[in-house]
Amino acid sequence: MRKESTVRKWAPNAIVLLISLFLVACSSDKAGTTKASAGSYNGPVYTVKRGDTLYRISRMTGSSVGELARLNGISAPYTLEVGQKIRIKSSSGSSSSKKTVVAKTSKPSSTSTSSVAKVAPPPVGSKCWRWPTSGKVTVPFSNSDGGNKGIDIAGKRGQPIYASAAGTVVYVGNQLRGYGNLVMIKHNEEYITAYAHNETTLVNTSQKVTAGQKIATMGSSGSDSVNLHFQIRYRATAIDPQRYLLPPGSKPSC
């Protein structure tokens, strides 16, 4: 998957959380694992392990992302390094009690292995998704470690990009290296879609959009070829868009 790195400036806390969810879901545990890696912390200090994110640590320790970020002077998108010491407010207020935490997960699914939690994929047809543009899928979805967490659709520069479903734009920008000009739309509490490498963007943050509304034009920003990188996230976990998009050429009724 394209490498994601530090966002130097970020906007409201709600959007920060949405983007951190988007980022954390890109980190995968090994398929078939029934529980995530265990981490331990001594009193108020947690040592970052491989695959950890601030969101994951917040879930394991019962702290909020915002609290951890403030305590440790970490700015969005909360990039961590292996071995980094993270200050934790222990519930007892003591700095000497040792705790071991295990991230809770559900049974593994064949579609998604996420460091947030393994979630069962939604049923096909449970939501109507339009194709965001026309063209050949040149890079399919892959759930393997480091695989493509969306699909890449080839096309022509300036080709229209459409909202796959109705929702609210939660991010417009180019701070995520490797994604170029990026648009993210929140459809409800479970779904977010992402549209990357745009030539131009035609919507603004907090704007409501309808299904099929033109939101951008295709380009090669952050890429070496003209294409759209499209993702669907279900409960922060990447799912294969081709399983859920309407059949190519079909007339959408939504």
Bridge partner residues of 200 (DSSP):
217
Q: Which one-letter amino acid corresponds to residue 203?
A: V
* Percent of all residues in the chain with a pLDDT value above 70, rounded to a whole number: 69
Query: Among 83-87, 145-149, 191-195, 235-239, which is the least confidently predicted range?
Result: 145-149
In the chain, the DSSP E strands lie at 38-42, 45-47, 85-87, 98-102, 137-139, 151-154, 160-162, 167-173, 181-186, 191-201, 208-209, 214-218, 227-234, 237-239
Instruction: Report yes or no: 167 and 151 within 8 Å, Cβ to Cβ.
Output: no
Q: What does the alpha-carbon distance between residue 13 and residue 8 come to, in Å, rounded to a whole number?
A: 14
Query: Among 39-43, 148-152, 204-208, 236-240, which is the least confidently predicted range?
Result: 39-43
Q: Average pLDDT, stretch 5-26?
A: 45
- What's residue 15's pLDDT? 53
Q: What does the alpha-carbon distance between residue 93 and residue 91 come to, in Å, rounded to a whole number?
A: 6
Q: What does the alpha-carbon distance between residue 236 and residue 253 come to, in Å, rounded to a whole number?
A: 26
How are the residues of the chain apportioned to helix, strand and coil, as percentages rounded to the nearest 5? 15, 30, 60
∠ CA 18-119-103, nearest 5°, is 80
Terminal CA-CA length for the chain: 31
Given pLDDT bands bounded at 50, 70 and 90, which one contains residue 130? very high
Q: What does the alpha-carbon distance between residue 79 and residue 10 come to, in Å, rounded to a whole number?
A: 13
**Residue 69: CB atoms within 10 Å:** 19
157 compared with 62, residue with greater pLDDT: 157
Strands 45-47 and 38-42, bridge-based pairing: antiparallel
Q: What does the alpha-carbon distance between residue 72 and residue 98 come to, in Å, rounded to a whole number?
A: 20
Cα-atom radius of gyration of the chain, to the nearest Å? Answer: 19
Q: pLDDT (tens digit, 9 = 90+) per residue, 139-192? A: 999 887 677 899 999 999 999 999 999 999 999 999 887 899 999 999 999 999
97 has a pLDDT exceeding 50? no
Mean pLDDT of the chain: 75
Q: What is the pTM assigned to this prediction?
A: 0.60
Instruction: Report yes or no: 132 and 195 within 8 Å, Cβ to Cβ.
Output: yes
Q: Which one-letter amino acid corresponds to residue 50?
A: R
228 compared with 252, residue with greater pLDDT: 228
Taken in order of first residue, the domains within the chain and their CATH numbers are: 37-102 (3.10.350.10), 137-244 (2.70.70.10)
